[in-house]
């Protein structure tokens, strides 16, 4: 079951980071793949995250909320599939200084 169209507001700091790295199209493709892999997602939001391991590296994060009945196995399988699709379909020449991150939460947790 696919959830209705969800608006995705991108905060100005994330928009600027995407623009600076020429990553707007790649991020849009990542969002589309996320919807493809997790069609039941209830909500999604964009955030920027400082890489805890690499000073000066910032991630654009996509946090998604999945229905309560989503199992851990379903999330793991979906995240593996998403990672494979991203590698296959999205050229990311800028990963040395920038990256995408998708995280999942389950409703009620």
Structural domain spans, the chain: 12-106
Its CATH architecture, for the domain 12-106, is 2-Layer Sandwich (3.30)
Q: For residues 73 and 33, is the Cβ–Cβ distance under 8 A?
A: no
Q: Round to whole Å and give the CA distance between 35 and 14.
A: 19
Quick one: tokens of 71?
Answer: 């199992």
pLDDT digits (tens, 9 = 90+) for 100-109: 778 888 988 6
SS in 3 state form for 57-101? CEEEEEEEEECCCCCHHHHHHHHHHHHHHHHHHCCCCCCCCEEEE
Quick one: tokens of 12?
Answer: 């100005």
pLDDT digits (tens, 9 = 90+) for 26-72: 889 889 999 999 999 999 999 998 888 888 888 898 999 999 999 99
């Amino acid at each position: 079951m696919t959830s209705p169209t969800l608006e995705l507001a991108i905060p100005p700091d994330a928009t600027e980071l995407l623009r600076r790295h020429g990553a707007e199209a790649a991020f849009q493709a990542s969002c589309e793949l996320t919807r493809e892999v997790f069609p039941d997602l209830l909500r999604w939001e964009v955030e920027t995250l400082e890489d805890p391991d690499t000073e000066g590296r910032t991630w654009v994060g996509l946090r998604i909320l999945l229905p309560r009945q989503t199992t851990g196995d379903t999330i793991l399988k979906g995240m593996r599939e998403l990672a494979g699709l991203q590698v296959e379909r999205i050229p990311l020449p800028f990963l040395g200084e920038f990256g995408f991150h998708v995280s999942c939460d389950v409703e009620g947790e």
